[in-house]
Amino acid sequence: MNTAKQELEDAKKADEEKTVLQAQLDAVKKEKQDLETKLKETEKEKQELQTKLTQAEQEKNKALEDAKQQAEQENTNLQTQLDAVKKEKQELQTKLAQVEEKDKQIEEINAKVEELEKKLAAKNTEVQKLQKENKELEAQKQPTEQPKPGKAPMYAAAVGVGLAAGLVAFIALEYTAKLEMLVTVGIAAASALAVGGITYFALKPSTQVSETQEPQNAVKGCCKA
């Protein structure tokens, strides 16, 4: 009896232990399932984070590439502008040198003009003196005899006036019309010749002899012979 009772108690105890163990096993299985579920969720979150990280890395690389290209484009534009500024500076320096050269030429021409004006004034004084002497000689000669003044002073005066006028025309054409040098010189020379010719004929006194005086001179010559 005792043995059977003991066996029943042992069996009951074993069943209780089995029940406890089964409950523990079920709890462990449930915990395992929960952990597996959490692991899957964590893995999913990890994949999502990895995807976001990849996208962020791609966006970062794209932004860096765009910024690099934009910086290179801006650098190219700045270099182009710098080259244009350097070229403009060089052109301005060249123009400045040309202006300085023109100023130097103007100073030289002004000096020549001043010198020619002095010579022209001297020639005018000489012409006035010669005209005065011619008038005195005409007063001393016979009324019917026309004076024959020398041609050298008149030529000198005409040349002086012509040169001055030609030089003035040269300067005016050079710095206003901007003609070529050869054309300018040609016009200046023509102006000088024209003014010189006009001046010569204006200063040239009459050398005609009266019609009555010529036969008398011819008769006097025959008689003297």
Give the span between the Cα atoms of 134 and 130, in whole angstroms.
Answer: 6
Could you tell me the pLDDT band of residue 97, with boundaries at 50, 70 and 90?
very high
Write the pLDDT tens digit of every residue in 131-190: 898 888 888 885 554 544 444 445 555 555 555 555 555 555 555 444 455 455 555 555
- pLDDT, residue 181, reads 52
Q: Does the structure show a pLDDT above 90 at 195?
A: no
Domain range list for the chain = 106-206
Compute the average pLDDT of residues 18-29.
Answer: 90
Looking at every residue in the chain, the average pLDDT score rounds to 75
Q: What angle do CA 155, 159, 162 make, to 5 degrees?
A: 140
Rounded-to-10 torsion of CA 16, 17, 22, 27: 110
Give the span between the Cα atoms of 63 and 55, in whole angstroms.
Answer: 12
Share of the chain above pLDDT 70, in %: 62
pTM: 0.36
What residues contact residue 142 under an 8 Å CB cut-off, 6+ apart?
none
Could you tell me the pLDDT band of residue 47, with boundaries at 50, 70 and 90?
very high
- The end-to-end CA distance of the chain, in Å, is 214
Could you tell me the pLDDT band of residue 217, with boundaries at 50, 70 and 90?
very low
